[in-house]
Chains A and B, each alone.
Chain A
Amino acid sequence: MDRDAIREKSLARYKQERDWFALLHEATKLLPGEEGRLQEKLLTILLDSKETVVDCVENEKPFIAGYFCNAPELFHAMDLPWYMLMETPFLAASAPYLLSDIEGAENMGIGTDLCTAIRLPIYYIENGLMPVPTAVLGLLYPCDGAPMLHQVLEHNKAWKDVPIYSCDPPYTSDERAVEYFADELRRMADFLQKHTGKTLDMKKLVEVCEESNRSYALWQEYNELRRNVPCPHGWGLGGAQAFAISQCFVAGDPRCTDWFRQLYKCGELKIREGKGASETEGWKERIRLFWFDIMPYGWIFELMPWLENEWGAVIVMDMFSNFPYTLIDTSSEKTIFHGLAKRNLLDAPMIRQARGTAENFSNDIRRIVKDYKIDCVIWPGHMGHKDGAATTGIMRETCRELAVPFLHIGLDLFDRRYTSPDEVRDKVSEYFRGMGLG
């Protein structure tokens, strides 16, 4: 396939995905109340981001493809549009073509035990379904799959000449590691300037970082609200969107801050009215869950509403809602890069837990169980999270010390055939019953 053919094919797919979100966007308009408006606003921002990338492809403007947790404040300060390499599994997993894409990846002969979130982008790259950008930003953690995805990208003939810079997070988490990673981010900024024709204006970067600080401060305040019993929001609102908007779409943008402000207000109002996650008549929060991973985006609607409706089980906290972030000191270039390095190396989800030694698995469980009055911890055990799988014993032991029940399921967050929703529901029900919960 030549470059022009790939351009057309990938654009057609990208527009298909945009249109899927446009459909969801229309649906959110039917949702009642302020929370409906919040969902609508998020999808408006997402659609805007998609439209911008379409415009870049069609009109040959510079844009980048990147990994998550790559200090997006930097390229937002450079006015560089971007899309995330794992956008489809993470953000568009409800799209109707996901399962046929997974089958397509299987047919390529890449092992089915490889993380589906890595297999899918490999399939898209190898089949010309992902727009070829001006430059690529990779990240070599949180798992072995990430660098392999980037290496496939460099190996692919259509992408071979696209410049790529991949930050290499160290395994340790001390000051030396943060300094090293800050230097990696500096080199990344130089790379972007060299290959996209954009410049990094420090004044703009300060503005972006200060705005992102405002967003994160609101996020932190919102998370305080989630400590309330009953928790004002469940799986449907909070962490996943907070991460997407602050890390993927509009990092350091007033629209992001505005969204968080509204999120906070919604949570506060719910608490004032004494309402919990569900508006259903007679519904009561009976179990407070810590879902210690990403949510099963590929079949989320088959599990999460059931948890709330059947068991009164509310996901009070999950890996992406978790807030260990510290704000960025914008007093100098050095402190900004240091802050960005810390945020993306030590704080951001998955990189925080999966990159280094296992302390953050146990420490996060300890803190969250205590702070959020958690009744039980579920480690979904996504088939791609091999380091987490090797930490199961440590997590179980931590929960035992805290006298909080722990469940390891074993599933694929994107492929419902791996462990079917029925099997997951059975396993969870058995666990709740066995533990006397709900």
Chain B
Amino acid sequence: METDIKSAAFQKFVEATGSIMNPEVQAWKDQGRGVVGFFCSTVPEELFTAAGLLPFRMRGTGSTSTELSDAYFSPINCSFPRHTFNQALRGEYDFLDGLVCINSCDHVRRIYDNWIRALETPFVQVMSLPRKVGEPQIDWYYDELNILRGQLEEHFGVQLTDQRIGEAIALQNQVRGLQKQLYLLRKADKPPITGAETLAVMVAGTAMPKQRYKDLLRELLGELSEKRGSRDYRARLMILGGELDDPAYLEIIEKQGGLVVTDSSCFGSRLMWRPVDEAEPDPIRALARYYVRDRPSCPRMYGDQPQRIAFTREMAREFRVDGIIGERLLFCDQWVVENYMTDLDLKEDEIPFMALDREYVLSGEGQLRTRVQAFLETLEARGN
């Protein structure tokens, strides 16, 4: 990654983002401690932290082909689970002590079914996340969390007391708060950090011990507060979309002169914009409410589109965005329709919007450059 951030903390984040088994995970494992992988940002990683486990968000980083997973998936499946499962079949995830899947989408939810048949990870569970965001659904997810809590206790031989869960929530909230501070720095005319660099920091937060990450992030924030951004850019952009964990994708956009100043994405602001309610006496209830209703949602959560577009508009206004790019992994039925509605809504606000389809592993760079160039020209023409 090209960067002018000299910070040692930032280099740690880049290392953690650039591979699956990174030095931080290796050091954790060397201490004899457990790692639990999980798919989707709606899995309550706080429970793993409370159990003394390292939560690791699943990715296909480093994958170049799907030669093994093609026997399980089809060409009309999203390339994210295909590459990630391929990495698992290649043994890249053999370090996991457990895996928690969820019914996030039609593609990713089938990883569970294929995983339990093809791999021998000792603890593999699937959670049922409702699609609606009402009280009965919070109650349902509350039970799901308690079931998972029991499964973790039994398998890993730990006691997940309310106090431990509360402490994990507090730690994760502190992380969220620091990540939000990082985002707020990008409101400046010349932000001290680019979109690609920010994504590297965010992805690292899902791939290393929380306390260690928090300390490094605080260190980075201190350094960035004294740094002035020096890059010129042609437009301030917002990224809207789902699974995006590769900073190189944003680098290409930014090299064309479109500085990514904010987002609503699965590894971005939706992870941390709002905290879990620490005042709620029952920490499991607080988590259920947070993951079903309170956090900014993605399109799989039904009936929440008005809130999502409101969030997008609010972010666009706060970060003085010139245009929004809706990136979507091919074959995603959720984001294709969401982008269609977003386009209609943003037209009313006269906010330029461009939908881009992509594969999980970076490809078609020339086409991406051309599309972004054209979009930036449109934005510049508006400005004149």
| A393 and chain B: residue at smallest CB distance | B72
Task: Kindly supply a per-residue 1/0 record for chain A positions 371-395, scoring 1 wherever the CB is within 8 Å of any chain B CB and 0 otherwise.
Answer: 0000000000101101101111110
The stretch of A28-36, A144-152, A194-202 in contact with B is A144-152
- Other A-B contacts than A145-B337, A171-B127, A389-B73, 19 sampled, CB-CB below 8 A, are A110-B336, A113-B331, A114-B333, A118-B337, A140-B132, A143-B333, A147-B300, A148-B337, A151-B302, A154-B303, A154-B305, A171-B103, A171-B128, A383-B76, A386-B77, A389-B76, A392-B73, A392-B74, A393-B114
Residues of chain B within 8 A of A394, CB atoms compared:
72, 113-114, 117
Residues of chain A within 8 A of B113, CB atoms compared:
357-358, 390-391, 394
Expressed in whole angstroms, the Cα–Cα distance for A177 and B126 within the complex equals: 14
A357–B126 contact, CB under 8 A? yes
Residues of B within 8 A of A (CB): 71-78, 81, 103, 105-107, 109-114, 117, 126-132, 136-137, 140, 143, 299-300, 302-303, 305, 328, 330-334, 336-338, 340-341, 343-344, 355, 357
Residues of chain B within 8 A of A384, CB atoms compared:
333
Task: Kindly supply a per-residue 1/0 record for chain A positions 128-149, scoring 1 wherever the CB is within 8 Å of any chain B CB and 0 otherwise.
Answer: 0000000000001001110111
With contacts defined as CB atoms under 8 Å apart, how many contacts are there between chain A and chain B in the complex? 138
Quick check: is A183 within 8 A (CB to CB) of the other chain? yes
- Given known A144-B106, A386-B77, contact A168–B336 (CB-CB < 8 A): no
A110–B131 contact, CB under 8 A? no
Partner of A386 from B103, B107, B338, B357 at Cβ < 8 Å = B107
Residues of chain A within 8 A of B126, CB atoms compared:
171, 357
Residues of chain A within 8 A of B72, CB atoms compared:
390, 392-394
| A379 and chain B: residue at smallest CB distance | B74
B137–A168 contact, CB under 8 A? yes
A158 CB to nearest B CB, Å: 13
Expressed in whole angstroms, the Cα–Cα distance for A49 and B103 within the complex equals: 36
B343 CB to nearest A CB, Å: 8
Residues of chain A within 8 A of B77, CB atoms compared:
386, 389-390
Expressed in whole angstroms, the Cα–Cα distance for A151 and B337 within the complex equals: 9
Expressed in whole angstroms, the Cα–Cα distance for A381 and B74 within the complex equals: 9
Residues of chain A within 8 A of B136, CB atoms compared:
180, 183-184, 187
Quick check: is A256 within 8 A (CB to CB) of the other chain? no
Expressed in whole angstroms, the Cα–Cα distance for A159 and B113 within the complex equals: 38
Residues of chain B within 8 A of A357, CB atoms compared:
112-113, 126
| A396 and chain B: residue at smallest CB distance | B71
B76–A113 contact, CB under 8 A? yes
Most buried by A among B75, B81, B110, B112: B110
Expressed in whole angstroms, the Cα–Cα distance for A79 and B76 within the complex equals: 42
Residues of chain B within 8 A of A150, CB atoms compared:
302
What DSSP secondary structure best describes chain B's contact surface?
mixed
| A180 and chain B: residue at smallest CB distance | B140
Task: Kindly supply a per-residue 1/0 record for chain A positions 259-293, scoring 1 wherever the CB is within 8 Å of any chain B CB and 0 otherwise.
Answer: 00000000000000000000000000000000000
Task: Kindly supply a per-residue 1/0 record for chain A positions 114-126, scoring 1 wherever the CB is within 8 Å of any chain B CB and 0 otherwise.
Answer: 1100100010000
A145–B333 contact, CB under 8 A? yes
Quick check: is A434 within 8 A (CB to CB) of the other chain? no
| B126 and chain A: residue at smallest CB distance | A357
B68 CB to nearest A CB, Å: 11
Expressed in whole angstroms, the Cα–Cα distance for A394 and B344 within the complex equals: 40
A110–B303 contact, CB under 8 A? no
Query: Nearest 3 pairs between A and B by C-beta?
Result: A390-B110, A171-B128, A393-B72
Residues of chain A within 8 A of B76, CB atoms compared:
113, 381, 383, 386, 389, 410
Residues of chain A within 8 A of B107, CB atoms compared:
386-387, 390
B73–A168 contact, CB under 8 A? no
Residues of chain A within 8 A of B300, CB atoms compared:
144, 147
Write 9 A-B pairs (CB below 8 A) sorted by A numbering: A110-B337, A140-B132, A168-B132, A170-B128, A171-B127, A386-B76, A387-B110, A390-B77, A392-B73
Quick check: is A166 within 8 A (CB to CB) of the other chain? yes
- Given known A110-B337, A144-B334, contact A390–B305 (CB-CB < 8 A): no
Expressed in whole angstroms, the Cα–Cα distance for A148 and B299 within the complex equals: 8
Partner of A152 from B74, B137, B337 at Cβ < 8 Å = B337
B130 CB to nearest A CB, Å: 5
Residues of chain A within 8 A of B305, CB atoms compared:
151, 154-155
Residues of chain B within 8 A of A183, CB atoms compared:
136
A253 CB to nearest B CB, Å: 31
A277 CB to nearest B CB, Å: 30
A110–B340 contact, CB under 8 A? yes
B74–A390 contact, CB under 8 A? yes
A171 CB to nearest B CB, Å: 4
B341 CB to nearest A CB, Å: 5
Residues of chain B within 8 A of A115, CB atoms compared:
333
Quick check: is A41 within 8 A (CB to CB) of the other chain? no
Quick check: is A162 within 8 A (CB to CB) of the other chain? no
Quick check: is A436 within 8 A (CB to CB) of the other chain? no
Expressed in whole angstroms, the Cα–Cα distance for A205 and B156 within the complex equals: 49
A320 CB to nearest B CB, Å: 20
A118–B333 contact, CB under 8 A? yes
Expressed in whole angstroms, the Cα–Cα distance for A383 and B75 within the complex equals: 10
Expressed in whole angstroms, the Cα–Cα distance for A393 and B131 within the complex equals: 27
Expressed in whole angstroms, the Cα–Cα distance for A393 and B12 within the complex equals: 39
Partner of A393 from B71, B112, B336, B355 at Cβ < 8 Å = B71
B333 CB to nearest A CB, Å: 4
Expressed in whole angstroms, the Cα–Cα distance for A387 and B136 within the complex equals: 26
Expressed in whole angstroms, the Cα–Cα distance for A74 and B10 within the complex equals: 59
Residues of chain A within 8 A of B299, CB atoms compared:
148, 151
Expressed in whole angstroms, the Cα–Cα distance for A354 and B303 within the complex equals: 22
List residues of A (343-367) whose CB comes within 8 Å of B's CBs. 354, 357-358
Expressed in whole angstroms, the Cα–Cα distance for A195 and B12 within the complex equals: 58
A315 CB to nearest B CB, Å: 22
Expressed in whole angstroms, the Cα–Cα distance for A317 and B117 within the complex equals: 27
